[in-house]
Amino acid sequence: MYPGVKRALRFCGLVLGAWLTVQYVLPTVFPFLLGTALALAAEPGVKFLKERFRLPRAVGAAFCVSVVFLAILAGLVTLLALMFRELGALSGILPTMAEAVRNGIDALRNWLSALASRAPESLRPALEGSVAAFFSGGTALLSKGVDFLLGLAGGILRHVPDSALSLGTAVISGYMISARLPSLKKRVSALFSREKLKKLRVSARKMKDACLGWLLAQVKLAGMTLILLTAGFLLLRIPYAPLWALAVALVDAFPVLGTGTVLIPWALVCFIQGDGGRAVGLLGLYAVASLTRSAMEPKLVGQHLGLDPLTTLLALYAGYRFWGLPGMLLSPLLAVTLLSLLPASADS
């Protein structure tokens, strides 16, 4: 078989294997991967307790895994507490915000109706009908938004039992894996030759570096957007500027949505209400934030993952085309994994 054909078939096999793993294997083994992560994080403490205080490994594993889990849980609780505190401050102005949104919708409807009434007579009935149809549920737009949020909350609540089961399985498996970690390492070593274990360690190290690099790149992009939006909102004298900036930055974390999902309608409403300066400022802020993220995302993600910016851009686009938003977020990691496995496969 020609080397090029063999290499292409190997690559297709790796892609198919990666897809099957993400689609079917990963949901099943995910709690045990979390348990392994807990066990590895607790391993230095387990070794310290065993060597310093002569504690049995099972006792040290139970204590250290519990400490690691509680530390992670405390961090999450602190983060949620800070988030709810900010949401509590936001809830005080929600009625005013809802009224402002209703006024904005009414102003937009009146403006579009006035434009339609000045259109040529041949187009006027169709345009007026379109405006009327679009805003026939205009007063219900907020209720639709509330229904969407309630549906989202219901979906999250439906997944709470499964998430609790997965978390409990992860913690229990963490105890078991930590208590038997040396013997498990010996079993893994017995299954593979020294050379294969070396390649697996190299691939695992690359994957760990890729995950940390991807996370760091996303944090940098979100922080950059947050700083730009906060500065822009402060210059535009928008109340609660940091909170608004955080909300828009969270929307911007979804690549297809972006800051324009919030800033463009906001600018349009400001323009209709006669606040042209703020409308222009919001549009300018959208342009700056969007261009900055578009220019920096391939470079930052590629730099932290060790990928060429063009390869990163190709991975982002292909991931979105095949798997939507999750694929766009995770495709660079998949690209790094495939590129790290191909040389190992080629040598074997």
Burial 199-234 (b: 16+ CB within 10 A, else e): beeeeeebeeebeebbeebbebbbebbbebbbebbe
Quick check: 104 pLDDT over 80?
A: no
Q: What is the pLDDT of residues 207-223, one digit of tens each?
A: 777 778 777 888 888 89
The pLDDT > 70 percentage for the chain reads 76
Quick check: 44 pLDDT over 70?
A: yes
pLDDT band for position 16 (cuts 50, 70, 90): confident
Looking at residue 345, its pLDDT comes to: 43
**Cα Rg of the chain (Å, integer):** 27
Structure-model confidence comparison of residues 193 and 225, the more confident one: 225
Q: What is the pLDDT of residues 279-332, one digit of tens each?
A: 899 999 999 998 888 788 777 777 767 777 677 777 777 777 777 666 776 777
pLDDT band for position 175 (cuts 50, 70, 90): very high
Global confidence as pTM: 0.56
Residue 170: partners with Cβ closer than 8 Å, 6 or more residues away = 31, 32, 34, 35, 38
Looking at residue 346, its pLDDT comes to: 42
Closest CA to 300 of 242, 245, 218, 201: 218
Q: What is the pLDDT of residues 54-98, one digit of tens each?
A: 889 999 999 999 999 999 999 988 988 877 776 666 666 666 666
Token representation of residue 245: 């900036």
Q: CB atoms < 10 A from the CB of 177, how many?
A: 21
Averaged over 238-243, what is the pLDDT? 84
Looking at residue 344, its pLDDT comes to: 45
Dihedral, CA of residue 260, residue 262, residue 268 and residue 269, to nearest 10: 180
Quick check: 139 pLDDT over 90?
A: no
pLDDT band for position 145 (cuts 50, 70, 90): low
Average pLDDT score, the chain: 78
Closest CA to 105 of 265, 238, 283: 265
Looking at residue 255, its pLDDT comes to: 55
Averaged over 182-199, what is the pLDDT? 79
